[in-house]
Amino acid sequence: MRKIYVFDTTLRDGEQSPGVNLNTNEKLEIAYQLERLGVDRIEAGFPAASPGDLAAVNAVASAVKNASVVALSRARISDIDAAREALKGAQDPCLHLFLASSPIHRQHKLRMSKEQMLEAAEAAIKYAKQYFSKIEFSPEDAGRTEIDFLCQVTEMAIKAGASVVNIPDTVGYLSPYEYGNIFKTLKEQVPGIEKIQLSAHCHDDLGMATANALAAILNGADQIEGTINGIGERAGNTAIEEVALALETRQQFYQAKTTLVLPEIARTSRLVSKLTGMVVPGNKAIVGANAFAHESGIHQDGMLKEKTTYEIMSPETIGLKDSKLVLGKHSGRHAFREKLIDMGYELEEEQLNITFAKFKDLADKKKEVSDEDIRVLLEQKLIDIPEEYKLETIFVEYGNQSTPSARVRILRADGHMLEQVAEGNGSVDAIYHAIEQATGEEAQLTDYLIKSVTHGKDALGEVHVVLTQNEVAVQGRGVSTDILEASAHAYVDALNRIIEKRKSGTASRRDKMSLI
């Protein structure tokens, strides 16, 4: 069966989602999980965008061993050199060059003729070929490029030394028939096309990214590009998990499949959602909370008689598993360890002790601790942010006939305890005023999101905030059974991230260009 390569751009195109700003440690954590998932290529970022992005790509390149690490570059020598620097520690580096090819981009953005575009792209590929054995070339907005010119561009890229030619539907404009036909035409008309891989990069502006990627595969594409959970600019990219499960479920039809470790999909989805702050909708295909849920009486009856009546995939395929172990405050370490192993987690002794202590603390507050509760406990400390401030206690006074007030006690890294009382328009506002006054850190709250990560009246609540200070935006997260406590933790977490950026010198405003 034909292998379809998976090019994951969660760390690059996915991070271009509005409000998403991953630090180096977060990128590394996602990269490690993408390795476990088995993706073939990881696009780690755009090194020329900022020193911080260059450093993050370099960190991923040095850490990843079982996937090719890719850096994005415009058709500019300075960009290529930045990518060289970023990828110098990679075991299997790849450069991703792009230059727009459509009439709209040539006229309004590049102000180049067809001949000038071809010359610029060819010169960039040849320059890069001196340093990279693997080069992917993308004619940006290929989907709206004249097909005869796109054939010329592809032929040029092959002769210049590209090993992959990517055909991006940059603005999500095409129908599956149109997009598939581009690949069919290139396969039929471009000399030497058998020497390279053709790649499909789709956006979801009209809701057809996955359908277009599958149409490309049916017409000869060797690689699909996308993101976990379909995140990305505007309406997002092709959701990798959707393509992988479509190929797996409909093998006889597509006669092609990825080599992804499918049981890692659910865990990868949760990690990306948590670190980006982008909530996966309940009705999202494959990884949504309702993807394997059945409420209709007719559906339930069918499921009880034969699962395949209403379920074309099993939850086990993507790593979801119902457990018979019910954990609560009377559970011991052995049962807890076995539960973790059953869920796919094997912790070292020190990590187990820390997590078990958190579990016991949570079990005192809840009757029953669910699998999702445990996953939250495990994922809470995936990323270690230096804690300039640590929330010790909060006390809130609220009444519908009085002004809400909050008192906070915060431990500073030097051991000094800060205490402050403040009022606000509501309880959360009062808490945030008190934290701001105690720390002396002024920041603008630009986003605030609450979601339940488990079920029931005693569910764990997760709060995501976005704080902006001097044009630098960061995310903060907090989890607790008390939403006010979670709100406070999220705000303090965001302040610590702002301070970390300020100290590391990566607090410059990022140039988030519209890329492929």
Q: How far is C-alpha 31 from the chain's CA centre? A: 10
CB burial class (10 A; 0-12, 13-18, 19+) of residue 283?
exposed
Could you tell me if 81 and 13 lie in one domain?
Answer: yes
Could you tell me if 202 and 309 lie in one domain?
Answer: no
Could you tell me if 152 and 225 lie in one domain?
Answer: yes
Could you tell me if 39 and 176 lie in one domain?
Answer: yes
Residue from 512, 445, 377, 515 nearest 20 by CA: 512
Q: Is residue 510, in this structure, part of any structural domain at all?
A: no
Could you tell me if 110 and 157 lie in one domain?
Answer: yes
Per the CB < 8 A criterion, the answer to whether 10 and 265 are in contact is no
Could you tell me if 90 and 144 lie in one domain?
Answer: yes
**End of a domain among 248, 276, 304?**
276
Query: In this predicted structure, what is the pLDDT of residue 514?
Result: 43
Q: Distance between CA atoms of 373 and 376, rounded to whole angstroms?
A: 5
For 368-384, b where at least 16 C-beta lie within 10 A, e where not — what string?
A: ebbbbbbbbbbbbeebe
Q: Is residue 179, in this structure, part of any structural domain at all?
A: yes
**Which pair of structure tokens corresponds to residue 101?**
């090819």
Could you tell me if 143 and 185 lie in one domain?
Answer: yes
Q: Is residue 356, in this structure, part of any structural domain at all?
A: no
Query: In this predicted structure, what is the pLDDT of residue 352?
Result: 84
Could you tell me if 202 and 102 lie in one domain?
Answer: yes
pTM over 0.85: no
Q: Is residue 516, in this structure, part of any structural domain at all?
A: no
Could you tell me if 145 and 251 lie in one domain?
Answer: yes
What range does the domain containing 299 cover? 291-322
**Which pair of structure tokens corresponds to residue 260?**
């992804």
CATH number of the domain enclosing 156: 3.20.20.70
Q: Is residue 389, in this structure, part of any structural domain at all?
A: no
pLDDT, tens digit only, all 516 positions of the chain: 899 999 999 999 988 887 788 889 999 999 999 999 999 999 999 999 999 999 999 999 999 999 999 999 999 999 999 999 999 999 999 999 999 999 999 999 999 999 999 999 999 999 999 999 999 999 999 999 999 999 999 999 999 999 999 999 999 999 999 999 999 999 999 999 999 999 999 999 999 999 999 999 999 999 999 999 999 999 999 999 999 999 999 999 999 999 999 999 999 999 999 899 899 998 999 998 778 765 454 555 665 567 777 678 888 899 886 534 456 666 777 778 877 876 667 778 888 888 888 888 877 766 667 776 777 677 655 455 678 999 999 999 998 889 999 999 999 999 999 999 999 999 999 999 999 999 999 999 998 989 876 666 666 788 989 899 988 888 888 888 889 999 999 999 999 989 988 887 654 444 334 455
Between CA 35 and CA 26, with CA 356 as vertex, the angle to 5 degrees is 30
**Which pair of structure tokens corresponds to residue 5?**
């390569």
Query: In this predicted structure, what is the pLDDT of residue 21?
Result: 83
Q: How many domains does the chain have?
A: 2
Q: Distance between CA atoms of 71 and 501, rounded to whole angstroms?
A: 22
Could you tell me if 128 and 272 lie in one domain?
Answer: yes
Q: Going by C-beta distance under 8 Å and a sequence separation of 6 or more, which residues neighbour residue 441?
A: 469, 495, 498, 499
Residue from 97, 136, 99 nearest 114 by CA: 99
**End of a domain among 276, 303, 331?**
276
Q: Is residue 300, in this structure, part of any structural domain at all?
A: yes
**Which pair of structure tokens corresponds to residue 236?**
């997002």
Q: Is residue 501, in this structure, part of any structural domain at all?
A: no
Could you tell me if 43 and 90 lie in one domain?
Answer: yes
Q: Is residue 266, in this structure, part of any structural domain at all?
A: yes
Could you tell me if 183 and 309 lie in one domain?
Answer: no
